[in-house]
Structure 1
Amino acid sequence: MKILIAPDSYKDALAASDAATAIAQGIRRAAPEASSVLCPMGDGGEGTLDALLAATGAERRLARVSDALGRPIEAAWGWLAESGTAFVELAQASGLEALSRDERDALSASTFGTGELIREALEAGAQHLLLTLGGSATNDAGAGMLQALGARLLDAQGRELPPGGAALAELERLDLDGLDPRLAGLQVQAAVDVDNPLLGERGASAIFGPQKGADEAQVARLDAALAHFAERVAATLGEDHRDLAGAGAAGGMGFAARAFLGAELRPGIELVMDQVGFDALLTGSDLVITGEGQLDGQSLAGKTPVGIARRARAAGIPCVVLAGRLGPQWQAAHDEGITTAFALADGPMDLDSALTRCAELLADRAESLVRLMHAWRPDA
């Protein structure tokens, strides 16, 4: 029996590679003879860079950049010299996980550090950039990234805007004269894990602002500021991308990637599967096990388990999700190819206990799953 193990990370608990290892341990307990193929995945959020490096053999490089609050941080990025391809994960520089809960500040958090990482890639001679968007602490529609790459965002008095999405309400003029000219020759793909537009009730501020520290009044303020930014961008570039699916990814970074980098926005899981040769790994598999922290109705917008399940269904292979939690409307995932799904908790427990025991619980669920398979198909 060949089992393809392809989980995403379990937020605040396990990296994707550690999750895959835990699942494999459980499988070995139930079926030592089974062949387990480990393929850690990511859909654009934190951990996607690790999945790409493992799959492609790209060099891991480190750079000293700014975090979302402007503090120095060491961030990783990937480099494939033979093809001139750079992998930049926004969460490395501008990620939410680097901030404590009381540090989250959606009004002033900036993507400046992500722009610094892109500049590092340009210095290395990058011709192709895969930019993964997800796990951000920011809601600035990529304004900080633009400033790091040489653009100037000016108010009515000609002063540079301070960091963060709230300041965009004061934008009077976009000065792109200093934008790094090497960007013109850079082919960019942006991996997004959601399909939200930039603005409105499904926009970056309304849907993701609260998890970045914004209250109801601040969400409204940010949405209005990003709307003003979108209007100025449209007037400057002659194109309006505010309604593009994925424009709201990473606090509006999808919008900036398309508008200023000419990026092709694609579901992150699709890009990652292409990079790791996922279809080839599926060949001969009897089962696919995937998972992440939560499976719910929002997962259909581009999260790892659903992307994996769609490929598995096309290959005629059952796909099981091991999720930290099954949230509202998770059953809709059945229509996308997920055979069944299980929550990890084996009894009442608080969140801290669940996070601490995540590897143990994953191994236990995987063991139970394979024992059930053997009972159903003794010859498997």
Structure 2
Amino acid sequence: MKIVVAPDSYKGTLDQYEVAKVMSQSLEEQGHSCVMKPMSDGGDGLLQCFRSEGYNRVVTNVTGPEGRTVEAEYYMKEGTAVIETAEACGLHLITDSHPSDRTTFGVGELLMHAADQGTEHIILGLGGSATSDGGYGMFMALGGAAINEADLPIGVFNRDIPKISELNVQSLRRFEKIKLTIASDVTHPLLGPKGAVHTFGPQKGIDEADLDRFADMLVHLAEKAADAFPVDHTDSPGAGAAGGLGWMLLNIGAEMQSGGELIAEMIHLEKEIIEADAVVTGEGKSDRQTLGGKAPSVVADLAKKHHKPCHLVSGQVTEDLSDYFEATHALVDAENDVDQVISDTAFHLNRKMKEIFPK
């Protein structure tokens, strides 16, 4: 059989490229042929989807979320740059900083670097950020300016937002000749109980008692931005992504697109599915939310379109999804608990694949 393997990451254990590699090796040992197409919905591991797609890896130094220099990478091919914003402001870069002492400044530096390489289209994945600054740091890196009541310039960290008296966009880098596309499945607005801070703040280390204070910072930032930008994007779907980074990107002209659908198109997933006998996808944990635009549901939709059986192989499957997939399979089952699977995910995945697709 020819099988397309198009999994998302098993978060906390294997990234999507590693999952696809284990799946492919297992199937090939059984005598099947495989095509690896690691997938993402725009969240963590976006860059892993392009490792085998002929993109060039670009490495540069940028300002990390805590203000120290970090090495970041992105991929480029034929005028298109793929950027994972977590490379500049991700949770994996955090040491001991307080959430108020973080910035998205490095994201702006990544955008500038890619723009200076002659790119015509920039794709930005917003997953895994450690910041809640509404993209303020990025705005400053792109040439924006902020002054306090004494007309003095202020810093680029989250803690500096309450000091803002005025935002100035006179020197802001414009991307008139570059298309900016946000790849994300997040639909939350910037503000309110379902906004950036109250929804995602705890994941970034903001204490429950501090959520309102951080949310108020974004309210203040939005009020000042209203005088600087012609369109109000605070309620736009996805504005709350990556601690409000989505909102600032919309302010500078970016467009929001379903991450899974965009990535599937870019890696030519549909073409490979048409030519396959079966499809395998998966993720760390699957439930009914998986069906709301997550990578496995995008893969399943393409498989259904071309009448190909699609198997879901995830670390855990906690709800019945059998009406959406040919079959669902979980590494955590009656024989293996969560700790066992986490301790050696590759081993359990290899064994499960051979059970599903014998010789």
TM-score of the two chains, using structure 1 as the length reference? 0.87
Give structure 2 stretches of 5+ with no counterpart: none
Whether the 8 Å CA contact 2:140–2:156 is kept in 1: the answer is no
* Residue equivalent to 2:109: 116
Any residues of structure 2 matched to 1:302-313 within 5 Å, and which? 302-313=293-304
The residue type equivalent to 1:10 in the other structure is Y
Moved more, 170-179 or 46-55: 46-55
- 1:180 equivalent in alignment to 2:173: yes
CA distance in 1, matches of 2:291, 2:349: 22
The residue type equivalent to 1:325 in the other structure is Q
- 1:363 equivalent in alignment to 2:354: no
* Secondary structure at 1:188 match in 2: strand
Choose which of 184, 188, 191 in structure 2 pairs with 1:192: 184
* Residue equivalent to 1:285: 276
Whether the 8 Å CA contact 2:40–2:49 is kept in 1: the answer is yes
Q: Cα deviations across residues 207-259 of structure 1 (Å, max 9, x unaligned)?
A: 21111111112222222221222222223213111111111111111111111
- 1:48 equivalent in alignment to 2:46: yes
TM-score of the two chains, using structure 2 as the length reference? 0.92
* Alpha-carbon distance, 1:349 to partner: 4.2
CA distance in 2, matches of 1:105, 1:292: 31
Whether the 8 Å CA contact 2:109–2:141 is kept in 1: the answer is yes
* Residue equivalent to 2:310: 319
The residue type equivalent to 1:122 in the other structure is A
CA distance in 1, matches of 2:22, 2:133: 37
* Residue equivalent to 1:96: 91
CA distance in 2, matches of 1:210, 1:338: 33
- 1:224 equivalent in alignment to 2:216: yes
Moved more, 239-248 or 286-295: 286-295
1:153–1:361: structure 2 CA closer, same or farther, 3 Å change rule? Answer: farther
1:342–1:160: structure 2 CA closer, same or farther, 3 Å change rule? Answer: farther
CA distance in 2, matches of 1:159, 1:218: 28
CA distance in 2, matches of 1:159, 1:302: 45
1:326–1:98: structure 2 CA closer, same or farther, 3 Å change rule? Answer: farther
Whether the 8 Å CA contact 2:148–2:164 is kept in 1: the answer is yes
Runs of 4+ off more than 6 Å:
none
1:228–1:213: structure 2 CA closer, same or farther, 3 Å change rule? Answer: same
1:343–1:215: structure 2 CA closer, same or farther, 3 Å change rule? Answer: farther
* Residue equivalent to 1:377: none
Any residues of structure 2 matched to 1:26-41 within 5 Å, and which? 26-29=26-29, 31-32=30-31, 34-41=32-39
Which structure dedicates a bigger proportion of its chain to helix?
Answer: 1
CA distance in 2, matches of 1:52, 1:195: 25
Whether the 8 Å CA contact 1:166–1:221 is kept in 2: the answer is no
1:370–1:348: structure 2 CA closer, same or farther, 3 Å change rule? Answer: closer
* Alpha-carbon distance, 1:155 to partner: 2.7
* Alpha-carbon distance, 1:345 to partner: 2.4
* Alpha-carbon distance, 1:163 to partner: 3.8
* Residue equivalent to 1:264: 255
* Secondary structure at 1:54 match in 2: coil
Whether the 8 Å CA contact 2:27–2:33 is kept in 1: the answer is no
Whether the 8 Å CA contact 1:194–1:303 is kept in 2: the answer is no
CA distance in 2, matches of 1:59, 1:211: 32
Whether the 8 Å CA contact 1:65–1:75 is kept in 2: the answer is yes
Cα-Cα RMSD? 2.2
- 1:2 equivalent in alignment to 2:2: yes
The residue type equivalent to 2:304 in the other structure is R
Choose which of 64, 70, 79 in structure 1 pairs with 2:76: 79
* Alpha-carbon distance, 1:321 to partner: 2.0
Whether the 8 Å CA contact 2:26–2:350 is kept in 1: the answer is yes
1:306–1:105: structure 2 CA closer, same or farther, 3 Å change rule? Answer: farther
1:158–1:312: structure 2 CA closer, same or farther, 3 Å change rule? Answer: farther
* Secondary structure at 1:9 match in 2: coil
* Alpha-carbon distance, 1:129 to partner: 1.1
Aligned-pair identity in percent equals: 35
* Residue equivalent to 1:168: 161
Q: Cα deviations across residues 101-138 of structure 1 (Å, max 9, x unaligned)?
A: xx364333211111111111122122221112111111
The residue type equivalent to 2:11 in the other structure is K
* Alpha-carbon distance, 1:334 to partner: 5.5
Whether the 8 Å CA contact 1:187–1:263 is kept in 2: the answer is yes
1:87–1:164: structure 2 CA closer, same or farther, 3 Å change rule? Answer: same
* Alpha-carbon distance, 1:369 to partner: 1.7
* Residue equivalent to 2:59: 62
CA distance in 1, matches of 2:342, 2:157: 31
Any residues of structure 2 matched to 1:125-274 within 5 Å, and which? 125-181=118-174, 183-260=175-252, 262-274=253-265
1:248–1:338: structure 2 CA closer, same or farther, 3 Å change rule? Answer: farther
CA distance in 1, matches of 2:328, 2:38: 18
1:254–1:301: structure 2 CA closer, same or farther, 3 Å change rule? Answer: farther
Q: Cα deviations across residues 248-303 of structure 1 (Å, max 9, x unaligned)?
A: 1111111111111x111011111111111111011132321111222234434432
Moved more, 154-163 or 121-130: 154-163
1:12–1:217: structure 2 CA closer, same or farther, 3 Å change rule? Answer: same
